[in-house]
Structure 1
């Protein structure tokens, strides 16, 4: 039996290449009927549309696969300018909630489940993912013995001190979660130069060298990913990320590790507990 096109302003499509399921307007209310624009607030119209569509996606009212109207169509139906719709859709695309379908409109993307790691103690990525119920894995994209004047100064070492540079893509349940560039103090732990680092570096340090990392100084900054990092995270366009810089020490305050990790902002929400 032939598939019918929906007469409504959006339709539900499955991710199965063999089927397309169209919903009639009676099956689901139209997007226009779900939006309420107000003129008694200082909030710009594009932001009202952005926030309301965002809420509809998060609530499931607009599930994955829903096709939103093209910019011109939605602008005409709401009685606003096309620029207003462009700005609202651009904000949603930046958060990776929508994917452009050209003249057909915009497709609601699958939103990855956020993880909420605590920051109450020092732990590596592998341990963190296991605590969150995810299967951790890594892909090493660069491993090299280097001399780097600026990085050596962070460790308080001479400019010619040998360092191990390790660049990895870190995955949770096979989803790219972060891209990490780390440097290790080979003067303190020379075993790292030839060690098996396909798993947890922290576990290798503890088991093979006896060097346990017990404290760290850490900063978190907001940033945008590069074109290559967008490709790694499967972003259509740059989306806000968290840049975490960590200095890790042994119990005698010997600095072993300096790492700069870029974590995707749509999947990470850090949790802090503060007490008086």
Structure 2
């Protein structure tokens, strides 16, 4: 901090942190120390750090992570993937110039009457249930809950699904997807989803529900994906 200026210390700290964030020196996904820790490290009062952090939060550059500190937010424009054709998250990120990754929260073989009815199958039908957090350049962008028809793609039961499930369906199961029916609606994340996205208060999100089919018009996938509203918007091109 400089002592040859009349600028308040909190404003100096805020401007220095903002410059580091916008230059990419502190990239999106970086976790900054909690207020007390940073104050002790810099020899400042906690109130000074708190004021600087609050301003950066108002500018949408930081998001509180509670006791863990503050998460640097994406400073670029929102992601604007098109809805012109069927593509999975991995391909979508590649087209946007980002690196896709996933974290599996749940993987189980289930029989579920309500899910079976969505697929138009008998109640005892077996499905792979897969719950994942999807990341773009290390930033959590969506939480997906998906069910897959194991009668049509049995290799999914024990397959490596750390990457693209759509690629696995095409290459390992011989069951490429042909088309989907998809809806998009606004919703509010629950507590678990808010924690995954690093939200300290509810932020509107996009809930995408998709039913995907093979060339034989057989439904293979049903997925409900929650996409963070502060980083995602969809674009459509509609012909006359």
TM-score range (shorter-chain normalised) is: 0.7 to 0.9
2:166 — aligned with what? 202
Unmatched 5+ stretches in structure 1: 21-64, 69-91, 101-106
Give the paired residue count: 204
2:88 — aligned with what? 124
Q: How far does the alpha carbon of each residue in 1:97-146 deviate from its partner, in whole angstroms, 9 at most, with x for none?
A: 6768xxxxxx9x74543111000000000000000000000011100000
The structure showing larger relative contact order (alpha-carbon pairs under 8 Å, at least 6 residues apart) is: 2
Q: How far does the alpha carbon of each residue in 1:197-253 deviate from its partner, in whole angstroms, 9 at most, with x for none?
A: 111000001001110101000000100001111110011111000000000001111
Please tell me whether the aligned partners of residues 176 and 233 of structure 1 are also in contact (alpha carbons under 8 angstroms).
yes
Please tell me whether the aligned partners of residues 61 and 75 of structure 2 are also in contact (alpha carbons under 8 angstroms).
no
Please tell me whether the aligned partners of residues 218 and 246 of structure 1 are also in contact (alpha carbons under 8 angstroms).
yes
1:14 — aligned with what? 16
Deviation at 1:185, TM superposition (A): 0.3
1:218 — aligned with what? 182
1:174 — aligned with what? 138
Give, in whole Å, the separation in 2 of the partners of 1:165 and 1:216. Answer: 19
Deviation at 1:67, TM superposition (A): 5.3
SS in 1 for 2:92: helix
TM-score by length of 2: 0.75
Give, in whole Å, the separation in 1 of the partners of 2:160 and 2:63. Answer: 40
1:143 — aligned with what? 107
Picking from 230, 234, 238, the partner of 1:266 is 230
* Larger strand fraction of residues: 2
- Identify if the C-alpha distance between structure 1 residues 274 and 6 changes in structure 2 by more than 3 Å, giving closer, same or farther: same
SS in 2 for 1:14: helix
Deviation at 1:8, TM superposition (A): 9.7
- In the alignment, structure 1 residue 241 sits paired with structure 2 residue 205: yes
Unmatched 5+ stretches in structure 2: 21-37, 44-51, 65-69
Please tell me whether the aligned partners of residues 112 and 267 of structure 1 are also in contact (alpha carbons under 8 angstroms).
no
Give, in whole Å, the separation in 1 of the partners of 2:220 and 2:105. Answer: 21
1:44 — aligned with what? none
Give, in whole Å, the separation in 1 of the partners of 2:217 and 2:235. Answer: 26
Deviation at 1:148, TM superposition (A): 0.4
- In the alignment, structure 1 residue 159 sits paired with structure 2 residue 161: no
- Identify if the C-alpha distance between structure 1 residues 268 and 215 changes in structure 2 by more than 3 Å, giving closer, same or farther: same
Deviation at 1:183, TM superposition (A): 0.1
Give, in whole Å, the separation in 2 of the partners of 1:230 and 1:112. Answer: 19
